[in-house]
Structure 1
């Protein structure tokens, strides 16, 4: 993982040196292990000023034996800034660095014909299974390529020039609003395709073309969208749309069940459980098996954002299957003080929020099924004053997102990723603890694909199975714009990387292809019908109590909604003041 900054303009970054210096500083927080920059002069503008591109890379070393500084520059003067992980599509051995392997693939591209060269670049990016954002200068064709993966799992922002002498910027994280003096300065690069700037058109004889005039956009499309036809400007997504099939025998009548009811497992459901176990397990395995040691063998390398809910608990059990038993696993559980309850400070703050209670119960189930493992249940308590002290920094990191809900979710992730808390020892004593794990796993993506949100149940109530399927498709289509870039910017602010096993494209492909009645069944009540398939997997992994947990949004489970000023009158989608 790394931080990327890029500027294209007259005299490079000098005209807005305050912006550039802050971008380099903030991206260095994301990649503390190595930083470097590289400049490429590309000609003169119409007024005779020198135009250049400047690349900056800051590396968090998580792949291969050796730390590989960025940007990478090859013999052809191609330049690569890579913020991502290659878990499939291009072979990367445990001792190899994926940035070097990607550059090797790009070096094989034929330079003879521009169109053929374009298709080869696109083919390389389409083959990658894993999260990424990329900036790649192809010197032979004078093309600047940049993109986020099709699910938007890594952040990339852009600023397109609004004035004649303004510069074009790309960055993993935004500069502060007081630096840019413009709340709309930064936008997220849409995760809807691959973008290419034709520099030869931008710096031509006339020099009057705008950036927008010189950008090609190669869009992602579902492979089953045959009505639009395909051309060289379309890229096939690695997964189809949500399977619309529903067995004719299924009704929409509610099914009343006792409290401890477990739906029967048919042969078809049994196969689906096995398949989910296999594909999700492989996704987890690829994300945890080769994280390098940085401090000592005793240092915990993997942590889980742990509310105690169904999604993160299943991930924890699967991680246990693939990590050596002598490696500890940190379970990061965050709770916030409620200032409305303890206004006079006469009693100690109470951090027994819903996620803390669920987390304690769930870690006990983990210890029961995996007693060989040291599970560090890290209780991260956040006093109101500390939350307010860090509030503006968190707001700056979520830019360009700016709603009350964005802040409440980001605040929980920011403090959880920081990892400063306590561990309760077996003798009852508390130990101060700071998680040094650089790889954090998140269960994000499970609710969107398995019907975990209340809106899925409401869609089913309003229009049955087919209306619910439409709602699932909407959630998958918009996940990149709602969650992913924000969460990456927040967690990476601590020099850590978040990985999403439920959003492996292999898992998404399997989920989309599997019939919805095997994944969820809203005829059953809450705590049974939503995420039905994952509940079955949870029980198969040995955790029966947690299999009955239901979805609770993190801002309510950790009580961060109380930190953002959100009231009944101030809704989550309102803009921050």
Structure 2
């Protein structure tokens, strides 16, 4: 053991001890090294002395880290492991390592999912939505299954799979039993030949057509969706399980969910959300427990029930086409295949006659359709039911109630002032070394910003540490310039905080791409703040390899791209949505310019070279403004309604973020084969912010750049980001200057656009795509 520790220290690296400490924390010493109890006792004794100098940051990282540690160890440290293994157990040194590498193969992915249901009369009258009426009129949209698959492949370019479930009712059968069968589909038509033979549009025969595409984020064994189990259940799933369920490190989210859902009650107690037999979980129980973004379509064959839904904040897109009298088809899809056809004239719109898009954002929730036989007609029928989330904590987050809203004068006086550099250094010291118990208590009681910072750090860890397993690591080959994670980067407060936290959570050897889009070259405000932010990040973390990717665009050259983005933002259709969509689409594509000076040098006086980011995970700052009073309308609401008015406006923003922002943004970013992750919308972060008194979150009596998003500005200061901490809020459409260019192009001038309230104006045009 002494030799082992000496060799590790002589290598000027504690990577082995860090790795062993992490494994010991999880009680996985035997799994890693095949140690005997005596060997574990010896190593534990050494670790108690040798790991006291590990930083809090590294302890947290190794607590959340995955088995990538095996792949990231140097060859020398791997030999040390093998030497220790032989010394303590006399076992084959490759045996447990091979087992470990097998576990590393667990796959991580992002998906596009679709369901096309026909042959069932769907009743949506019980849904509490204005659009849930079969008498409503929607736009006419014509597209083929190939169009839909093409749109899905952009989200999941690595694989595409399909399954069909056929339901058939024989009216001569006195028992009125619905039979089912499942088969693969390799056709490009909506109804395969077998379905046609059975009568695809006959309401005694139904077809459920599932499609799933996959973007491989890690692992070497692709998991093809849809999944079908031995019981005939079918699943397509687009999501991540960051918590709420216990998954082993080798477990794939989708496979875990398939097995868990397969054990759920099928006793027909859908209306109660709880199993009437007792002792079994219901499907709403399982889905409500998931921490993380998700969208799901699941067929439970034993109960003849279709389940579908989205997480409570709508972080993954799921569009729906409800059946109408004119079109009985029921569709669910991650994305719209083509741009919508606008059938309502501007005159009709101005006269107050609205229209409904072919697609709608599916409101967040868990839905079921139990397929049965109509007593009167003999048709297959199903009523759509909306189920409540059953997790008590999640229901509290949905209500978005804050205990402390209105401060007393004493509360405002006691509210913490601006953080000093001494406090910042004290906080960073807590990251750099294990503080004493007294120091830790002092840090915790200093201010709510410390609590929020820790919650945000955990959120970023959950969204980045799992991705450190990649094919290069599994094969033992390290790519020093591999970039696993990028940030949509304006250099503003939110993206700077994410960058600083990512630096803490991500292995030091990885580079970080900062993706910045501009429609006015070097003059755009976001380009200026991005360059200033890059300098500040290099000051705070000089060892990190930061790369600013400058994505330049000219709106006049983006006619085709504009039409494409229009299909992605659908059913949203305002100029503001389009401007945001184009900026996000270009930024997430990561195709731009970088300085040829190298990613750690001064870029100001160097030429630029072309570069395309290969990062598949993008951190996005969505949710920060809604939760921390970052919008101008929050200041207006505060002036009109004081603290209660501000709280109500913020709650309204959070309860409609699924419809106004997240579905649209997910579709846009995923179209580039990237997955958006939203650390500010982590369930634990939302809970922490709701537990903080409102006057500690924001104080809008103070000027812009100080009182708005007050708590995030304090977090930035704790991270040493003093310049970013005082930056004003700038939306991407203004910071990139696409709004200005769009106003000039579509309204003639900024002034005319402002007079017309251009941001909320709907786009009217005929489609050439049908």
* TM bin (shorter chain): 0.7 to 0.9
SS of residue in 2 equivalent to 1:60: strand
Number of the residue aligned with 1:535: 713
Q: Is the radius of gyration larger for structure 1 or structure 2?
A: 2
Q: By how many angstroms is 1:312 displaced?
A: 0.8
Note closer, same or farther for the CA distance 1:373–1:470 as it changes in structure 2 (3 Å cut): same
2:401 to 230, 237, 241: 241
Deviations 1:480-525 (A, max 9, x none): 1110100001111111110000001111111112111111111221
SS of residue in 2 equivalent to 1:521: coil
Number of the residue aligned with 1:513: 691
Note closer, same or farther for the CA distance 1:478–1:411 as it changes in structure 2 (3 Å cut): same
Number of the residue aligned with 2:369: 197
Number of the residue aligned with 2:640: 462
Gaps of 5+ in 2: 1-109, 121-140, 170-198, 344-354, 424-441, 473-477, 599-605, 748-752, 765-770
Number of the residue aligned with 1:449: 627
Distance 2:658 2:319 in 1: 13
Deviations 1:507-563 (A, max 9, x none): 111111211111111122111111111111111111111111110111000011134
- Asked if 1:575 corresponds to 2:575, the answer is no
Equivalent positions of 1:241-390 (< 5 A) are 241-249=401-409, 270-291=446-467, 292-293=469-470, 297=479, 298-337=481-520, 350-390=521-561
Distance 2:517 2:322 in 1: 38
- Asked if 1:52 corresponds to 2:234, the answer is no
Number of the residue aligned with 1:347: none
SS of residue in 2 equivalent to 1:469: helix
TM-score, normalization by structure 1:
0.87
Equivalent positions of 1:176-255 (< 5 A) are 176-177=338-339, 184-191=357-364, 193-201=365-373, 206-207=377-378, 214-219=383-388, 237=397, 240-249=400-409
Gaps of 5+ in 1: 225-233, 338-349
Q: By how many angstroms is 1:69 displaced?
A: 1.0
Q: By how many angstroms is 1:236 displaced?
A: 6.2
Distance 1:223 1:402 in 2: 36
Q: By how many angstroms is 1:51 displaced?
A: 1.6
Deviations 1:12-59 (A, max 9, x none): xxxx99432211110111011111000000125894663210100001
Are the counterparts in 2 of residues 223 and 239 from structure 1 also a CA contact under 8 Å?
A: no
Number of the residue aligned with 1:31: 156
- Asked if 1:162 corresponds to 2:324, the answer is yes
Deviates more, 1:77-86 or 1:44-53: 44-53
Number of the residue aligned with 1:416: 587
Are the counterparts in 2 of residues 63 and 96 from structure 1 also a CA contact under 8 Å?
A: no
Distance 1:130 1:151 in 2: 10
Q: Which has the higher helix share?
A: 2
Deviations 1:188-231 (A, max 9, x none): 1111x211111225x777255765xx11111359969xxxxxxx
- Asked if 1:9 corresponds to 2:87, the answer is no
Deviations 1:92-115 (A, max 9, x none): 344431111111211221344544
Are the counterparts in 1 of residues 289 and 391 from structure 2 also a CA contact under 8 Å?
A: no
Q: By how many angstroms is 1:452 displaced?
A: 0.8
Are the counterparts in 2 of residues 239 and 512 from structure 1 also a CA contact under 8 Å?
A: no
Number of the residue aligned with 1:396: 567
Distance 2:421 2:650 in 1: 22
SS of residue in 1 equivalent to 2:592: strand
Distance 2:453 2:232 in 1: 45
Are the counterparts in 2 of residues 451 and 520 from structure 1 also a CA contact under 8 Å?
A: yes
Are the counterparts in 2 of residues 240 and 513 from structure 1 also a CA contact under 8 Å?
A: no
Are the counterparts in 1 of residues 371 and 380 from structure 2 also a CA contact under 8 Å?
A: no
Distance 1:51 1:66 in 2: 34
Deviations 1:131-154 (A, max 9, x none): 011001011111101101000011
Q: Tell me the C-alpha RMSD between the 2 structures.
A: 3.1
Distance 2:612 2:207 in 1: 43
Distance 1:474 1:441 in 2: 24
Q: How many corresponding residue pairs?
A: 545
Q: By how many angstroms is 1:475 displaced?
A: 1.2
Deviates more, 1:31-40 or 1:240-249: 240-249
Are the counterparts in 1 of residues 113 and 237 from structure 2 also a CA contact under 8 Å?
A: yes
Deviations 1:220-260 (A, max 9, x none): 59969xxxxxxxxx96656742334333225999x9x9xx9
Distance 2:532 2:642 in 1: 35
SS of residue in 2 equivalent to 1:41: strand
Note closer, same or farther for the CA distance 1:387–1:242 as it changes in structure 2 (3 Å cut): farther
Number of the residue aligned with 1:500: 678
SS of residue in 2 equivalent to 1:357: helix
Are the counterparts in 1 of residues 372 and 380 from structure 2 also a CA contact under 8 Å?
A: no
Are the counterparts in 2 of residues 63 and 94 from structure 1 also a CA contact under 8 Å?
A: no
Distance 2:388 2:262 in 1: 24
Distance 2:545 2:506 in 1: 12
Distance 1:440 1:210 in 2: 42
Distance 1:145 1:176 in 2: 26
